[in-house]
């Protein structure tokens, strides 16, 4: 392993909080590839993961991550984005370009909205900004690996800007057009029109968050990447189905838009 004595110290993982980590078996049966160039971070995160029931394999840079991910059978990859040799952005992009399908969660010291989109655009499934709480890590892994367990039971979804007197009418119009967007995406999927799927998903990835529907934007960004990489039909169909469900929840009566 590379000696990091002269390198800048990696961003801290844990966060001081009165919320204590409680060991559980929430990740029982899961195999995690943990990619981080900091031995201290590896030890700390590895402890949280094994205490939650997961088995953990380690990689110290993006090059190792790509090799171990392709040759392994992991349920999820936790990818530090700032590393020597090959960074996490390049590693995630390389894995997706090669058809790698398991979720990749970005771990980064940057917490801006632009950083999240940058990570998603490289093929990451979700994002955690350091420092983060151990329970947030377990929650995120469950969300990307076992979405059926963490999906909200709500029958409608509300914009983050619901009630805003200026944005209300714009949000209402955006939601009104969601069924036609889903229809267009489904039609392009039936024709295997990768370019059109990528274009439609790109538009939604950029717009949904601005109208207060970040989850919708994240799945659209995922669809865009899958279309760009020509992912297997069943994988793309699952993502489009999730997107359609979110659009349906937003358009369902009961959503507060203005």
Instruction: Select the more confidently predicted residue: 249 or 39.
Output: 39
Mean of the pLDDT values across residues 38-50?
A: 92
Please count the residues of the chain. Answer: 258
Q: What is the mean pLDDT of the chain?
A: 81
| CA terminus-to-terminus distance, the chain | 56
Give the C-alpha separation, 126 to 121, whole Å: 11
* Tokens (6 digits) for 194: 């990768």
How many separate helices (H) and strands (E) can be counted in the chain? Answer: 11, 5
User: What is the per-residue pLDDT for 252?
Assistant: 59
Query: Could you tell me how far CA 129 lies from the centroid of its own chain?
Result: 12
Which residue in 218, 223, 221 sits closest to 236, CA to CA? 223
- The torsion angle over the Cα atoms of residues 145, 150, 153 and 154, rounded to 10 degrees, is -90
User: What is the per-residue pLDDT for 70?
Assistant: 93
Is it the case that residue 198 has pLDDT exceeding 90? yes
User: What is the per-residue pLDDT for 9?
Assistant: 44
Is it the case that residue 253 has pLDDT exceeding 60? no
The H-assigned helical ranges of the chain are 39-51, 62-71, 88-97, 113-121, 134-145, 147-150, 168-176, 178-190, 194-207, 214-228, 233-251
Confidence of residue 20 (pLDDT cuts 50, 70, 90): low
Is it the case that residue 14 has pLDDT exceeding 70? no
pTM of the model: 0.57
* Tokens (6 digits) for 77: 């990859």
* Tokens (6 digits) for 222: 């995922």
75-94 residue pLDDT tens:
899 999 999 899 999 999 88
Check if the beta carbon of residue 250 is closer than 8 Å to that of residue 216: yes
Instruction: Select the more confidently predicted residue: 151 or 102.
Output: 102
Mean of the pLDDT values across residues 109-122?
A: 77
Instruction: Select the more confidently predicted residue: 43 or 154.
Output: 43
What values do phi and psi take at 80, rounded to 5?
-65, 135
């Amino acid at each position: 392993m590379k000696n990091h004595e002269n390198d800048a110290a990696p961003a801290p993982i844990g966060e001081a909080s009165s919320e204590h980590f409680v060991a559980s078996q929430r990740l029982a049966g899961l195999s995690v590839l943990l990619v981080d160039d900091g031995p201290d971070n590896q030890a700390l995160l590895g402890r949280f993961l094994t205490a939650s029931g997961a088995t953990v394999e380690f990689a110290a840079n993006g090059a190792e991550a790509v090799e171990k991910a392709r040759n392994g059978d992991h349920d999820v990859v936790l990818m530090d984005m700032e590393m020597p040799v090959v960074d996490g952005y390049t590693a995630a992009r390389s894995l997706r370009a090669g058809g790698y399908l398991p979720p990749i969660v970005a771990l980064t010291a940057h917490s801006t909205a632009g950083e999240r989109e940058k990570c998603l655009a490289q093929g990451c499934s979700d994002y955690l900004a350091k420092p983060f709480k151990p329970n947030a890590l377990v929650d995120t892994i469950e969300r990307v690996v076992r979405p059926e367990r963490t999906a909200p039971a709500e029958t409608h979804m509300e914009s983050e800007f619901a009630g805003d007197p200026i944005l209300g009418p714009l949000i209402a119009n955006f939601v009104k057009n969601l069924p036609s967007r889903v229809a267009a995406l489904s039609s392009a999927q039936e024709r295997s029109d990768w370019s059109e799927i990528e274009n439609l998903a790109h538009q939604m990835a950029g717009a949904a968050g601005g109208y207060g529907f970040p989850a919708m934007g994240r799945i659209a960004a995922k669809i865009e990447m899958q279309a760009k990489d020509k992912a297997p039909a069943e994988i793309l169909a699952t993502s489009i189905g999730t997107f359609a469900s979110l659009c349906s929840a937003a358009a369902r009566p009961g959503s507060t838009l203005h």
